[in-house]
Structure 1
Amino acid sequence: MASPDQTLKEFFPKYNPPIRAHKHTCVGLGMEVIKRLKTLEKDYPGITKSMMLVSCDENIQDVLDYTTSSPGPQGFLIETEKDHVMVAIHVRIGGRQGVFLSDLGYHISRVVTVMADRCYPHTGWFTQSDEPHCRKEYNYQFNVKNSNYVEWHERETRGCVVKERLSLIYIARAYLTAVNVTEKRNLVWDLRSLLARDPKGRLSAGIYFPLKLKDQQFTMFFDSTNGKQRKKLKFDTFLERQKIPDEVVGEVEQCNEQLRLRDGELLSILKHLATIMADEEYMTELLEVNDRIVQLSAGN
């Protein structure tokens, strides 16, 4: 937005995204957990060299085709988004192949153990979140055709409706382009969120919203004396600070505290977001860049 001499479409390919402290996407969180786990080196010699970032392709349509076309994802590099990363540590237990996976980007509050033979201590299916309106269950297992991949199965239950999703994690080699590919791709993702969770991974407070040109609003949720609150608010409400209703300011301040932000930080973030969302030319360009990435990954 600060580069009037070039469009976002021209600027985006040349941009090198920084990894900012305390403002982490899955890439930054993966790097942070590796840094912290290095303190275990004294008790577990070799763990530092064993840890690595690994890439994940979400929403795989044809698992057999993807995993058997080549040993790794080389043949799919043009047609994949590489939109997620996590930390992997290869292990052997009594000669049995396995891998530990740590995925803070999806707020998984445990280290998942994936054994090739699916026997103990294989984690198997577990409940990731169980809210009144939605339950999510995850399962990780080695692909039977290609052990370079771990399948990540997600089962989402809303009332009587069950949806399933499959992603593939490539664990054979470290993912070396996480910043230039995944971090950069997620900058123009059309769904944004700022969330807080408890130590068990349960959502406690936050905001989330889709990027749209019309009907621009976000959902804010937080705990109050009257129980869990969930509010839908329009971004244009926050364009002028003095016109924001006092009741809304109070709710934002409650959410701000539960997000563990500095005083007034969430209100400032929302004002900045409202200004950006109101810039129709910029938003149009951003959504076009995202759509183009989606088209390329689909081979169109």
Structure 2
Amino acid sequence: MEKKHTCVGLAIELVKQWRRLDKGFKGLGRALSIYSCEEKVENGGEYVNKAEPELVEGAEKEHVMAGIHIEVDGRAGVLLADPGYHVPRVLTVMEDGAYPHTGWFTQSDEPHSRKEYHYAFNSHHHGYVEWRERDTRGPLVVSQTSLIYVARPYLTGVNVTERRNLVYNFKSLLSRDQKGHVTAGIYFPVGARGKDAQFTLFLDDGTSKHKTKFKFSAFLRRDEVPEAIEDQIEQCNKQMNYKYGNLLDTICRAARVMTDDSFIQQLLEINDDIAAVSL
């Protein structure tokens, strides 16, 4: 948790920072909570009718966010902050959907994809907030709904969500600007074997964006990485505000892990088992 690379670590750190405001806003620190989120829920009605999350068979709870319950002129609501998904605003979700309810907003707008988010209390169970995502890619619009449980604090984020994400079969290490846009980083699927395993290096130099794929096998020995590639990695490293050589060291360590076929197979089997249980 120390480096705060996951949604759990980021949410815990955000709550810690917010609690400093308790000196000026008494009681704020005690009211802050971390809330659990079930992503991509297929049957929201069946899920919320279970009343409590622990009654839902196969719940993964793979995401968390920070928040606090509020009341505006007698009207109930909740403020949510999602640093894990790099949402660049604090979301106001009112039970009646009236001002200052956030409503639909654009999370990202790229040439190939526009993502829009919307948060609202579930009409059948106000213990849940529905997080709707609308992804528009040309004529194709893909929608999904996730459920955030705000009735009670989530106390097992490290024990459940963090552990679940350790074996997730897609890894990323990204740097973003204040609006949540990716500026630099790497990402890769876990599953390809040996020489086929590769990662994507992403770099935004301010005028153009660059994506380059590299084989992990080229990074098994740090002293054998070509200078031109090392320079490109270091450019990304600077944009991520890392100390010199940090990103290259991370990639080399990941390369050695990716060559351990037995470990990778176990990781994928655990991830598949969790996915199967959650169906």
Give the TM-score normalised by structure 1. Answer: 0.89
1:114–1:122 CA contact under 8 A, matched in 2:
yes
Which residue of the partner structure matches residue 98 of structure 2? Answer: 119
Q: CA RMSD in A?
A: 1.3
Which residue of the partner structure matches residue 11 of structure 1? Answer: none
| Aligned match for 2:55, one of 61, 75, 78 | 75
Q: Tell me the distance in 2 between the aligned counterparts of 1:219 and 1:184.
A: 25
SS in 2 for 1:105: helix
Aligned residue identity for 1:26? C
Residue 246 of structure 1 and its aligned partner are, at CA, apart by 2.2
Q: Tell me the distance in 2 between the aligned counterparts of 1:200 and 1:59.
A: 24
1:166-245 equivalence runs, <5 A: 166-214=145-193, 215-224=196-205, 227-245=208-226
Q: Tell me the distance in 1 between the aligned counterparts of 2:183 and 2:75.
A: 39
Residue 225 of structure 1 and its aligned partner are, at CA, apart by 7.5
Aligned residue identity for 1:287? L
| Long gaps (5+) in structure 2 | none
Give the 3 Å change call, closer, same or farther, for CA 238–226 of structure 1 in structure 2: farther
Which residue of the partner structure matches residue 7 of structure 2? Answer: 26
* Stretches (4+) displaced over 6 A: none
Residue 226 of structure 1 and its aligned partner are, at CA, apart by 6.5
Residue 92 of structure 1 and its aligned partner are, at CA, apart by 0.5
Q: Tell me the distance in 2 between the aligned counterparts of 1:159 and 1:248.
A: 34
Aligned length, in residue pairs: 277
Q: Tell me the distance in 2 between the aligned counterparts of 1:113 and 1:23.
A: 24
Give the 3 Å change call, closer, same or farther, for CA 23–95 of structure 1 in structure 2: closer
2:8–2:157 CA contact under 8 A, matched in 1:
yes
Identity %: 48
- Residue-by-residue CA offset, 1:192-228 (whole Å, 9 max, x unaligned): 1000011111111111111013321111111238621
SS in 2 for 1:54: strand
Which residue of the partner structure matches residue 295 of structure 1? Answer: 276
Matched, 1:37 2:18: yes
Matched, 1:248 2:229: yes
SS in 2 for 1:257: helix
Residue 55 of structure 1 and its aligned partner are, at CA, apart by 0.4
- Residue-by-residue CA offset, 1:14-51 (whole Å, 9 max, x unaligned): xxxxx22x243111111111111112112222111111
2:127–2:150 CA contact under 8 A, matched in 1:
yes
1:56–1:83 CA contact under 8 A, matched in 2:
yes
2:5–2:173 CA contact under 8 A, matched in 1:
no
| Aligned match for 1:64, one of 27, 45, 49 | 45
| Long gaps (5+) in structure 1 | 1-18
Q: Tell me the distance in 2 between the aligned counterparts of 1:213 and 1:187.
A: 17
Which residue of the partner structure matches residue 114 of structure 2? Answer: 135
Give the 3 Å change call, closer, same or farther, for CA 249–205 of structure 1 in structure 2: same
1:213–1:283 CA contact under 8 A, matched in 2:
no
Matched, 1:258 2:263: no
